[in-house]
């Protein structure tokens, strides 16, 4: 099953994808996580990607698309993947369709997470990630804090703020790019009949975990 997580920054794509992955055994493929791992490992790909990521811009397709294409051929992906952070443009979506087509697969479900703008910014500012490069645990110091302040529950490493989450300009740039380049994907997938929109908001007491629970019911059918 090929599932795509769509939604602006801070809507909880990673949280929902993580729960779905844990419960179904389908791997979560987060392009942001792959980039961050490469950045901390100082690989060639990481050094190149960081030029764009630190300022809040998209990494060019010449780097991103082959990286995803390769990931789809891994053994653990033979029953599908949960894509988190890809595609982010119509061009990437078209390239993904081509790749999947060649593999005899297609996009089965696109989950579109929608959160009010003021909450989104709040959540990006209060987001913390584990500094251990092999652990990608993510926390929110207000909504989902670790048991011990500043320490990862899973591996005990210190938590840190992402560079692009601590820079207001990078935050704005990312939200702008989302509106301009990524939000057209909502219609793209709606037209294909695979879109499911889910509101995530503290105002209706519905968070990522609640959405994941409902999605699991559908997926398991
Ligand atoms: P966020 O959704 O908060 O921006 P991600 O972890 O998904 O965070 O991505 C971090 C950064 O990695 C993005 O700002 C962008 O620079 C880069 N990135 C991730 N996915 C893609 C993609 N599909 N295409 C281009 N750049 C990407
Ligand atoms: Zn950790």
pLDDT in tens, 199-217: 999 999 999 999 999 999 9
Can you tell me whether residue 139 is helix, strand or coil?
Answer: strand
Domains, the chain, ordered by start: 2-220 (3.40.50.300)
How much distance in Å is there from the Cα of 4 to the middle of ligand 1? 14
- DSSP classification of residue 201: B
pLDDT at position 29 is 97
pLDDT at position 221 is 74
Residue 136's pLDDT band (cuts 50, 70, 90)? confident
Residue 220's pLDDT band (cuts 50, 70, 90)? confident
Residue nearest to atom 9 of ligand 1 (CA): 32
Render 6-62 in DSSP notation, one character per residue.
Answer: EE-TTSSHHHHHHHHHHHH-PPEEEHHHHHHHHHHTT-HHHHHHHHHHTTTPPPPHH
pLDDT at position 144 is 87
The answer to whether 142 touches 152, Cβ cutoff 8 Å, is no
**For residue 102, pLDDT beyond 90:** yes
Interval 5-18: pLDDT, tens: 999 998 999 999 99
Q: What is the mean pLDDT of the chain?
A: 95
Q: For the chain, how many residues are written?
A: 221
Q: Per the structure block, which two tokens stand in for 209?
A: 């975990």
Of all atoms in ligand 1, which is nearest to the CA of residue 53? 16
Ligand 1 neighbour 88 (Cβ under 6 A): yes
How, if at all, do strands 195-199 and 28-30 pair?
A: unpaired
Can you tell me whether residue 151 is helix, strand or coil?
Answer: strand
Report the predicted TM-score, pTM, of the whole model to 2 decimal places.
0.93
How, if at all, do strands 81-84 and 2-7 pair?
A: parallel
Residue 189's pLDDT band (cuts 50, 70, 90)? very high
Q: Per the structure block, which two tokens stand in for 216?
A: 């699991």
Residue 134's pLDDT band (cuts 50, 70, 90)? confident
Interval 154-181: pLDDT, tens: 999 999 999 899 999 999 999 999 999 9
Instruction: Give dist(CA 158, CA 152) in Å, integer.
Output: 6
Instruction: Give dist(CA 87, CA 48) in Å, integer.
Output: 19
Known catalytic residues? Answer: 13, 88, 127, 162, 173
How much distance in Å is there from the Cα of 99 to the middle of ligand 2? 33
Instruction: Give dist(CA 11, CA 119) in Å, integer.
Output: 9
Mean pLDDT for 27-43 is 94
**For residue 143, pLDDT beyond 90:** no
Residue 116's pLDDT band (cuts 50, 70, 90)? very high
pLDDT at position 173 is 93
């Amino acid at each position: 099953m090929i599932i795509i997580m769509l939604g602006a920054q801070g809507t909880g794509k990673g949280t929902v994808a993580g729960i779905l992955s844990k419960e179904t055994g389908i791997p979560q493929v987060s392009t942001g996580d792959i980039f961050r791992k490469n950045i901390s490992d100082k690989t060639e790909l990481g050094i190149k990607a960081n030029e764009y990521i630190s300022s809040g811009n998209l990494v060019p397709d010449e780097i991103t698309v082959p990286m995803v294409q390769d990931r789809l051929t891994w053994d653990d992906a033979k029953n599908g993947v949960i894509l988190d952070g890809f595609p982010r443009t119509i061009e990437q979506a078209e390239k993904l369709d081509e790749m999947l087509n060649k593999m005899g697969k297609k996009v089965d479900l696109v989950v579109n997470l929608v959160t009010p703008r003021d909450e989104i910014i709040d959540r990006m500012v209060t987001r913390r990630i584990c500094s251990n490069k092999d652990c990608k645990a993510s926390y929110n110091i207000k909504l989902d804090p670790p048991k011990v302040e500043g320490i990862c529950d899973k591996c005990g490493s210190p938590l840190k703020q992402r560079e692009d989450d601590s820079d207001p300009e990078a935050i704005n740039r990312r939200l702008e790019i989302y509106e301009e380049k990524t939000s057209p994907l909502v219609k793209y997938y709606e037209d294909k009949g695979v879109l499911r929109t889910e509101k995530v908001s503290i105002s209706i007491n519905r968070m990522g975990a609640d959405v994941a629970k409902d999605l699991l019911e559908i997926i398991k059918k």
